[in-house]
Amino acid sequence: MLDILYSIIPQMLFFAAPLIFTALGGVYSERSGVINIGLEGLMVIGAFSSVTFNLLYADVLGDATPWYSLLVAIIAGMLFSLIHAVATITFRADQTVTGVAINMLALGFGVFMIKQIFGKGQTDFISQPIYSTDVPFLVDIPVIGKMFFNNMYITSYIAIVLSFVAWYVLYKTPFGLRIRAVGEHPMAADTNGIKVYTTRYIGVIISGALAGLGGAVFAMTISLNFSVSTIAGQGFMAIAAVIFGKWNPLGAMGAALFFGFAQSLSVVGSSIPLLENVPQVYLLIAPYVLTILALAGFIGRSVAPKASGVPYVKGSR
């Protein structure tokens, strides 16, 4: 039994890390009142920019390359999310439609730029990915050490710590209160002197930064290259995690970890005595069935921020 946990938990954590980052981004955007279907596209931009940067600068920066690549991805994600922000907040375009456009634009842009820069349809593997490590000292703790500190990606820890930071900021600081107010009742917030547009811009830009980071983490740890199919559905899983987690950073983290757990279980399942004889196809669909069940029954009603999806027009009621 312990052996199974030893293999499931590290797998769950590396699978979940990109989803956690992206889902946290989704929470901030939606909490400020802007639906962001474009998370997938923002992840694509993150993956594209980090891989490109990594390939071009690996010679100069050496071992530090992946960390700079993540930084580049964050900036690229922020810039790209500005398109969404300008369209939906300033010009009050339909948020869902703009998000879909972001997804298409990002993929087209990424693949086009790869062709321009490298002259082929997909990049080579990066030479400086993020490697997993054992955490010194902690790994020697019996049982727990092997479960949580053995062959782990530092990005997984960052994701979990960031979830708590995000929760603290959203619920315990004035800035978080403003974000939530703007997403629930922008007019009331406006009459209290909160700058609705600015706050929403910040929400969307945070989502761009985090989704870019999520895409980059995926590229740096899992796919190691960029092609048209590198990011295929992770952004939408992150959106599911946002809803599953009831628009709460910690809930979103829990949901992403749950997805990782289910995926890992579907793979490890074939070597667990109890599940050994289950046909593989059932194990393959298990993550999705579990997700639907969880969404349908176990978490209770999941209510979106009230003003999410509604453009704010100053002075209207």
Partner 1 sequence: MKMRRYAVLLGLILVVGVVLSACGSGSSSGQGGSGDSFKTAMVTDTGGIDDKSFNQSAWEGLTKFGEDNDLKEKEGYDYLQSNSASDYAGNLNRLVQSNTDLIFGVGFKLAEDIGKVADQNKETHFAIIDSVVEKDNVASIVFEEQQGSFLAGVAAATKSDSGKIGFVGGEESELIKKFEAGYVAGAKSVNKDIEVDVQYAGSFGAPDKGKLIASNMYNSGVDVIYHSAGGTGNGVFAQAKDLKNNNPEGNYWVIGVDRDQYDEGQIGDNNVTLTSMLKAVDVAVARVAQDSKDGEFPGGEIVSFGLKDDGIGIAETNTEAYTDDIKSAVDEWKQKIIDGDVTAPGTADELKAYVDSL
- For partner 1, give the closer residue by CB, 207 or 234: 234
48 lines the binding site for partner 1 (CB under 8 A): no
**Segment (H or E) for 241:** helix 234-244
Distance, CA of 132 to CA of 69 (rounded, Å): 17
Q: Tokens 């820890």: give the residue.
A: 157
Distance, CA of 162 to CA of 171 (rounded, Å): 14
Contact segment (CB under 8 A) with partner 1 among 21-29, 165-173, 177-185, 263-271 equals 263-271
Q: Is 289 exposed, middle or buried (0-12, 13-18, 19+ CB in 10 A)?
A: exposed
Identify the sign of the CA torsion 182, 183, 186, 192: negative
Q: Which among 241, 224, 245, 244 has a CA at the least distance from the CA of 233?
A: 241
29 lines the binding site for partner 1 (CB under 8 A): no
Contact segment (CB under 8 A) with partner 1 among 2-10, 64-72, 209-217, 244-252 equals 2-10
50 lines the binding site for partner 1 (CB under 8 A): no
234 lines the binding site for partner 1 (CB under 8 A): yes
The one-letter code for the residue type at 212 is G
155 lines the binding site for partner 1 (CB under 8 A): no
Contact segment (CB under 8 A) with partner 1 among 85-93, 187-195, 217-225, 301-309 equals 217-225
Q: Closest approach of Cβ 49 to partner 1, in Å?
A: 18
- For partner 1, give the closer residue by CB, 32 or 227: 227
- Cα separation values, 254 from 20, 135, 245, 267, 278, Å: 9, 23, 7, 20, 27
The one-letter code for the residue type at 199 is T
Binding partner 1 (rule: CB under 8 A), the pick from 54, 88, 230, 308 is: 230
Q: 273 is written with which tokens?
A: 């005595």
- For partner 1, give the closer residue by CB, 52 or 234: 234
Q: Closest approach of Cβ 219 to partner 1, in Å?
A: 9
Binding partner 1 (rule: CB under 8 A), the pick from 28, 48, 218, 312 is: 218
- For partner 1, give the closer residue by CB, 119 or 273: 119
- Region 89-148 residues binding partner 1, contact defined as CB under 8 A: 115, 119-122, 124-125, 127, 129, 131-134
- Region 289-308 residues binding partner 1, contact defined as CB under 8 A: none
Q: Closest approach of Cβ 63 to partner 1, in Å?
A: 11
Number of residues that bind partner 1 (CB under 8 A): 39
The 3-class SS string of 109-141 reads: HHHHHHHHHHCCCCCCCCCCCCCCECCCCHHHC
Residues with Cβ within 8 Å of 114's Cβ and at least 6 positions away in sequence, in order, are 48, 52, 120, 121, 122, 123, 226, 227
How many other C-beta atoms lie within 10 A of the C-beta of residue 73? 32
Sites of contact with partner 1 (CB under 8 A) = 6-7, 10-11, 14-15, 115, 119-122, 124-125, 127, 129, 131-134, 151, 218, 221-225, 227, 229-230, 232, 234, 263-264, 267-268, 270-271, 280, 284
